[in-house]
Each structure stands twice: as C-alpha cells, then as structure tokens.
Amino acid sequence: MPLLVRNGRIITATDDYRADIYAEGETISRIAPSIADADIAPGTEVIDAAGKYVFPGFIDPHVHIHLPFMGTNAKDDHASATKAALAGGTTTVIEMVCPSPTQEPMDAFNEWHNLAEPIACSDFTFHQAVVRFDDLAKSQLRELVANHGVASFKIFLAYMGAFDISDDNLFALLSMAKELGVITTAHCENAVAIDAMQKTLIDAGKTGPGFHEPSRPRQVEAEGVHHLCTFAELTGAHVYTVHTSCAAAVQRAVEARLRGVNVWIEAVAPHLVLDKTYAERSDFEGARYVMSPPLRDKCEQGALWNALHGGDVSTIGTDHAPFDFKGQKDMGKDAFTLIPNGIPSIQERIDLVHTFGVCEGRIDLKTMVSACSTRTAQIFGMYPKKGAIAVGSDADLVIYDPKFSGTFSHADSLSQVDYCGFEGMTRKGRADTVTLRGEIAAKQGKFVGTEGRGAYIKRAPTHF
C-alpha cells in the first residue's frame, strides 16, 4: 500500500524543512512541498505529521540479542528485541555475532542469521566478532565478506581467555581487514590489567558491584584505544571504537585521527545519562548497572556530549545486552566478576538522546539524526538506502512527537528483560508512528507491524 506523510517537519543530518513524503512499494518516490490527493494512488495510507518531526529511521550500530555470556544467555530473542527497537524509533539494528573461541566463524554467522531471519521485525545486519584466527577462520572470514554481506568485524581487547585476541592476531586481522576493505569495530580496554586488578580487589574482599568500575578504570580504556590505533596506523586499517565511555579514551582516538588514522568513535546511551553511583547502589541493586566499560563519574557525560556536539564522536548506539536482575545478574552475588555485563536500552535510546541531549541544549536535532542514524549508515555501508530521507531511500520514517512527556518505565518495555535501567527518569518526546520500508510498524510505543518482516541487509566493504 502506498504511504503519504503530510505536514511534517523533516529533519535529516543536514536539512530541516517542511514537505510531504510519498512512498510506493518499500521506497520513497516523491518529496514535495505539498502532495495533493489527486496525485496519489487510491488506497494510499495517509499520516498527518502536523506538529511533529519526521526523521529517517534510526539505526543502532551496537546491539546484543543472541548473546551467550558468562554462563548464561541474553533474555531477548530477535522478535522481542526488534519490536522494542521499532517502538523506540529504531528501524535497523547491527548485532554482534559473538562466537566462542572454539566456534568456526561461518558456523557462528549461520547460527545468528538463522535465529534472526524468521522472526526479526526490524531490518538487521551483523558485525562478525573474531575470537580465533587460525587458517580455517581466515578462510571463512574471507568467505563471509565475499559472499554473505559481512562488511565489519568486531574484536575484544578485553575478557581475557574468553573473547580477547592476541597482538599477533590483531596485527594480522587488521592487515586482512585493510586488504578486504572491512572496518573493524573494537572493545578497547587492556585485558591483562583488568584481570590483575579484579583479582586484587576480590582477594581483598571487595566483591560488590560498586567495585566493577575500579577494576577497569579510565586508564585501561584509554590505553586500549591507543593500542588499537597504533596497530591501525601500522596496517592502514579503518577502525571504530565501540561504547567509548570517557574523555581520556576519546582523546586517544582524536590524537590518532590527527596522525591520519582512520578511526571513528561510538558513544552509547547508558554512558550519556547514567553515572557510576548507579552501580554503587546498596543491597546489590547496583548489579543492574554493571556494563563494560563501566559507568563513569558524572563529569564524563558532559565530555561525551561535547564530543558529539563537536563531531569527534560520530555515533550513538546502545550496547543493548539484556540480562535479568533476578536469575542472571544475581549470579554475581559473591563476586562482581560474575555479574553478566549489560544495560538494556534498545527501546529507550532515541528518547534518552532527545530528552538529555536535544532538550538540554547539548546537541541539536541534526546532530541527533546524524549520530543515531546517518553516520552509522555511512560508516557501515548502508547509505543512502538507510539513514536518509531521499527519493530512492527505504521508506523508514519516524514521525516523532516532541510534545510527549512522561517517564521511562519497565511497564512500557517490549524487551523481555525484567527491569528498565532508566526507571522513573524524565522522558520528553516519543516516536508516534514508525514505518519500516513503507509499512507502519509501531504506533505510540506499541508494535503494530508484520511479525518477521525484518530483512537481512547484505553490505559491501567500503573501507579500503
């Protein structure tokens, strides 16, 4: 059914204007100051966007849905997570394929893809994590890039003995990535330093969730970014630092960029609005807020917002990793090292950015669109199919009501996790209507689309 969005204020990463948008099939076919009834097909669905913003569909560059981790598995499946994403205005997600050290890359890719394809309700694609780099893995990674639409790798400079990659493999992988034109996303910390500090704290009886941050302080993250960028400089590879949490880490990446390193920086919603006092809450309540890198001092929020405003930080993701407080997080009652890491935020991201970024004057609407949609599409090979409002782009649209007010609440969540990390916080703005490739998929926080309509996006490498 054709779709017409009328009377909206269209906001992209570069433009702010009023116009009507007409979509036929799955793509935008016309944008004009006014499109009359006589110029549309019979049966066209019409959305009146008067008084509302019209954004391109938002893209989350960093989510975990199927995540085996620390002896358990994340609570969402690809239906619940993508419904939650759509309700919040996110129409495309990039999920991390995270195999075990013994799993073959192709097997892991197929496992994740087969879980997502039948039930995903938003569009989706993958970063392929590399945790082994023997000859078989090298061959299969090349196959995934050549024939399966994988255009980004993921590496961990953390989680010693589980996901971390050795320096010799890091150098070889980045050399391969440069050859193939693949961008490598990286969790930047120093795994050896973290392991030593965690053992020291646990041996001293400092076992509660409030000690998670001291076990992996800003220095180890900044060192991890410097380490990654040094290897990128030597190999010419293009790299992307995920969930960057503090000014020191941002500074290391910016310094590398000034040397000519091709490095992009991602922030995530929890680091922008929460601080380490949440993880220090008594009676184990702080476990809800254990993630890595950890929540930092409140002053780091201002540094991240300033870096977004100035363009040093390119994207805002979530690092959505939903583990129940009861039955999963409490596995770490006796030691914070056993608390599954992650704060669910796939549904809340856009409203958090609008509330605490735009409404507080930290960033403007164009920067919000750039960081939450367009730059991700550009960096990861989906633009202008995604991340744009233009003729020929997918009709992924978010009609956003800036006048909505309320609070964040677990009662509104479509995720299967048992808590909201932002419970009771002020909420200004809401996705009123969300379309996915021309079909209405969510209205006022409810999923109303077609189950399993999400499509896998095959991407071609662009970072040569």
Instruction: Residue 153: give its domain's CATH number.
Output: 3.20.20.140
202: in domain: yes
Residue 285 belongs to some domain of the structure: yes
Average pLDDT, integer, range 253-280: 98
- What are the tens digits of pLDDT across the range 400-449? 999 999 999 999 999 999 999 999 999 999 999 999 999 999 999 999 99
Answer yes or no: is pLDDT of 459 > 90. Answer: yes
Q: What is the pLDDT of residues 65-122, one digit of tens each?
A: 999 988 899 999 999 999 999 999 999 999 999 999 899 999 999 999 999 999 999 9
Judged against a pLDDT cut of 80, whether residue 48 lies above it is answered with: yes
* Mean pLDDT to the nearest integer, 293-313: 98
Q: Is residue 34 part of a domain?
A: no
Total number of domains constituting the chain: 1
In a domain, 187, yes or no: yes
Does residue 306 fall inside a structural domain? Answer: yes
Reported confidence tier of residue 161, pLDDT bands at 50, 70, 90: low
Question: Do 319 and 291 meet the contact criterion of CB atoms below 8 Å apart?
Answer: yes
Q: Is residue 150 part of a domain?
A: yes
Indicate whether 293 pLDDT > 80.
yes
Range of the domain at 288: 57-379
pLDDT tens per residue, range 304-330: 999 999 999 999 999 999 999 999 999
- Per cent of the chain over pLDDT 90 is 96
Residue 90's DSSP bridge partners are: 58
Per-residue pLDDT of 387-400, as tens digits, reads: 999 999 999 999 99
Rounded CA separation 142/139 (Å): 5
pLDDT of res. 70: 80
Q: Give the pLDDT confidence score for residue 245 in this predicted structure.
A: 98
In percent, how much of the chain has pLDDT > 70?
100
What is the average pLDDT across 8-19? 98
Identify the pLDDT of residue 71. 83
- The 3-state secondary structure of the chain reads CCEEEEEEEEECCCCEEEEEEEEECCEEEEEECCCCHHHCCCCCEEEECCCCEEEECEEEEEECCCCEECCEECCCCHHHHHHHHHHCCEEEEEEEECCCCCCCHHHHHHHHHHHHCCCCCCEEEEEEECCCCCHHHHHHHHHHHHHCCCCEEEEEECCCCCCECCHHHHHHHHHHHHHHCCEEEEEECCHHHHHHHHHHHHHCCCCCHHHHHHHCCHHHHHHHHHHHHHHHHHHCCCEEECCCCCHHHHHHHHHHHHCCCCEEEEEEHHHHHCCCCCCCCCCCHHHHHCCCCCCCCCHHHHHHHHHHHHCCCCEEECCECCCCCCCCHHHHCCCHHHCCCCCCCCCCHHHHHHHHHHCCCCCCHHHHHHHHHHHHHHHCCCCCCCCCCCCCCECCEEEEEEEEEEECCHHHCCCCCCCCCCCCCEEEEEEEEEEECCEEEEECCEECCCCCCCCECCCCCCCC
- Is residue 311 included in any domain, yes or no? yes
pLDDT at 368: 99
